Amino acid sequence: MAGLPGPARRRPGRLPGRAGPAGPPGTAWTALVDGLPPARPWPDFRARHDADPAGYPVERARQDHRAQPRCLAAAGTEEFAHWDGGFAEPRDRYAAAAREAAVPGHALLRLDGTWTDADAAPSRDAYLRAANGYLDDLDGGTILVALDCHC
C-alpha cells in the first residue's frame, strides 16, 4: 500500500482476505439467517447501558444482545459460534466498518512519534475516523508498515 493516495488504501467493495459480496462467507451467513428478523447491533445495547448503567447493567445488555434470533442461530453453529455480533448490522454497514478498520487497526504510531489507539479515544469510531483521516492526508510517498504484535 506504500505510495498510494489515501482513498486508494481502502478499496471499496473488497475486504482483505475475504471473498467478494457473493462469495462463500456471505453465502453461509445468508443461508443461516434467512427468514430471521434483523438483529440490532451491539452498539444499540451498549448505548442503552451507557445511558443508565444502574438500571441496565452491561451483563444484561450482553444477554439481551445474544438472545436475538440471529445471535442464537450463530451460537448454535460451529462456523459462527465465535461470532462477535458484527453481522447483526446490515451487510453494507458491516463491510464499511471492516474496510474502515482494515488499515489503521487498533493503534497508530504517527510520523511525529505520537501513539494513538482505540482505547484512548472517545469511541472506536472516533479513533478510526481520526486515524483514517491522518493516513489519507499523508504524502503519497509515505511507506506504511503494519505490525501485529501480541504480548
Q: Is residue 131 part of a domain?
A: no
pLDDT confidence of residue 80: 82
Global confidence as pTM: 0.51
Q: Is residue 117 part of a domain?
A: no
- How many alpha carbons fall within 13 Å on the CB side of residue 79? 10
Helix (H) or strand (E) holding 132: helix 124-137
Look at the chain and report how many structural domains it folds into.
1
Contact 82, 91 (CB under 8 A): no
The cell numbers describing 94, all together, are: 458491516
Is 69 contained in some domain?
yes
Within-domain flag for 54 = yes
Identify residue 96 by its one-letter amino acid code. A
Exposed (0-12), middle (13-18) or buried (19+): which is 151, by Cβ within 10 Å? Answer: exposed
* pLDDT, tens digit (0-9, with 9 covering 90-100), for 94-124: 788 888 888 888 899 999 999 998 888 888 8
In a domain, 74, yes or no: yes
Domain with 46, as residue range(s), is: 36-89
**How confident is the model over 20-46, as pLDDT tens digits?**
444 445 678 788 888 999 888 888 898
End-to-end CA distance of the chain: 26
Q: Is residue 15 part of a domain?
A: no
The answer to the question of residue 128 being in a domain is no
pLDDT of residue 14: 36
State whether residue 75 is helix, strand or coil: helix
Q: Phi, psi (5° rounding) for residue 52?
A: -150, 70
- Count of CB atoms situated within 10 Å of the CB of 85: 19
Is there a domain that residue 11 lies in?
no
